[in-house]
Amino acid sequence: MDNTGFINISYQDHNIEGEFIIVSYSRTKRRNEHLKIPLTNNNSGNWNIDNIRDFLTEIVQEENIVENEKSLLAINLDQKIEQMVNQNENRVVIFVIDLFQTFVNSYNNN
């Protein structure tokens, strides 16, 4: 069994709702379980403290049942998100990457 779980961070552009970051988790058991973080000032998405807490709690719970050895977490960025980070294009993107990188580092070091 692979002992690495992935937090996938990708870019999505919707012609009505605008630009989003989608954060998903590779071992999730629930369908369509992800965070949808708007990159523009609109009211769509599900980016709030309760959803972030629930999302991170689910990751910890799922990682704690990986058999035989300590699981690890890693982050996958799609090409557009990598480009936005490298060009320091958007503060929301940088914040989200830093937030989840801090979580991954903390989890992997315990």
Q: Say if residues 5 and 17 touch (Cβ distance below 8 Å).
A: no
Asked if residue 36 has pLDDT above 60, the reply is yes
What is the 3 state secondary structure string of 7-48?
Answer: EEEEEEEECCCEEEEEEEECCCCCCCCEEEEECCCCCCCCCC
Mean pLDDT for the chain? 85
Give the start-to-end residue ranges of the domains of the chain.
4-108
Residue for token pair 């719970």: 61
Query: Does residue 110 register a pLDDT over 90?
Result: no
Model confidence band, residue 2 (pLDDT cutoffs 50, 70, 90):
low
* pLDDT per residue as tens digits for the range 49-83: 888 888 898 888 888 776 667 788 999 999 999 99
Residue 43: pLDDT above 70?
A: no
Q: What pLDDT is recorded for position 14?
A: 82
**Helices first, then strands: H and E counts in the chain:** 3, 4
Q: Vertex 96, ends 86 and 57: CA angle to 5°?
A: 145
